[in-house]
Structure 1
Amino acid sequence: MMDSKQIQGESYLISYDPATVTVNCQGTMRNMGMQAYGPLEDLLTEIMGEEPSQITLDLRGLKLLNSAGIRVLSKFIIQVRNRKTMRVVLKGSKEVTWQESSLTNLKRLMPMALLEWEEER
């Protein structure tokens, strides 16, 4: 089993909890090219390699994500969908502007994905 991991950038923090197979993303990820997402892609690939039955992406604390980041998440969702052995749970907040449309689009890529919205405060 993988150990917990953290990827820290100037304005964001990504942490992985192996006990719950949850990737938690917080902060803002903008002004980043595809190369800057390499560590996140590597983490997601490594988690998939463990063949868990479910992977949770908790994006509720991610205030901004640019198009390169959306591409990384889309690619990951397609890879999981193609394996047919894992389920993805996407946790989002309707209070964060980009999430409603983007997470809905990710769910379209994998209709079996579970989309959970944080209750509005």
Structure 2
Amino acid sequence: MTDTTTRPTGSETDIKGPGYRVWFDLPARTLHFEGVLRLSTSEYKPIEDLLDGVLQASPTLALRMTELQFLNSSGINMLYKFAIAARKKGETEIKVHGSSTIPWQGKSLPNLKKFLPAIVIALD
């Protein structure tokens, strides 16, 4: 994983924990998810806040999940709530980049369309 993007560390746009990282690349309007997310529902709050803040700040957004190896059911529910919030906001363009080689992504990411029909899901 080579990363040359400059961004604040330890801020509300860069969330790190044991085995995972979620960060926002402002110029690319892309939220990156990396590692393994096995948090309890309440532990997802900083990530939920980041998703909400980014959604409120811009109508165009990408979620890059290609390096997220695992997301538990609490995390998947967080994504579904995000999709519902985007639908309620209206006039949003969201693209999710995932990997077809990561089993949970092929099963769960397409379900985002049930909550936000306009979302674009791209599985590499």
TM-score, structure 2 as length reference:
0.87
Percent identical among aligned pairs is 31
Alpha-carbon distance in 2 for matches of 1:111, 1:85 = 12
Counterpart of 2:37 in structure 1 is 29
**Residue of 6, 15, 35 corresponding to 2:14:** 6
Counterpart of 2:122 in structure 1 is 116
Letter in 1 for 2:69: K
Aligned residues: 114
* Deviation per residue, 1:74-101 (Å, 9 max, x gap): 0000100111121110111000010011
Does 1:38 find its partner at 2:45? yes
Alpha-carbon distance in 1 for matches of 2:123, 2:103 = 13
Alpha-carbon distance in 2 for matches of 1:60, 1:23 = 11
Alpha-carbon distance in 2 for matches of 1:45, 1:83 = 11
Letter in 2 for 1:101: K
> What RMSD in Å do the two structures reach over aligned CA positions?
1.2
TM-score, structure 1 as length reference:
0.89
Alpha-carbon distance in 1 for matches of 2:105, 2:47 = 18
User: Which consecutive residues of structure 1, in runs of 5 or more, have no partner in the other structure?
Assistant: none
1:21, CA displacement in angstroms?
1.2
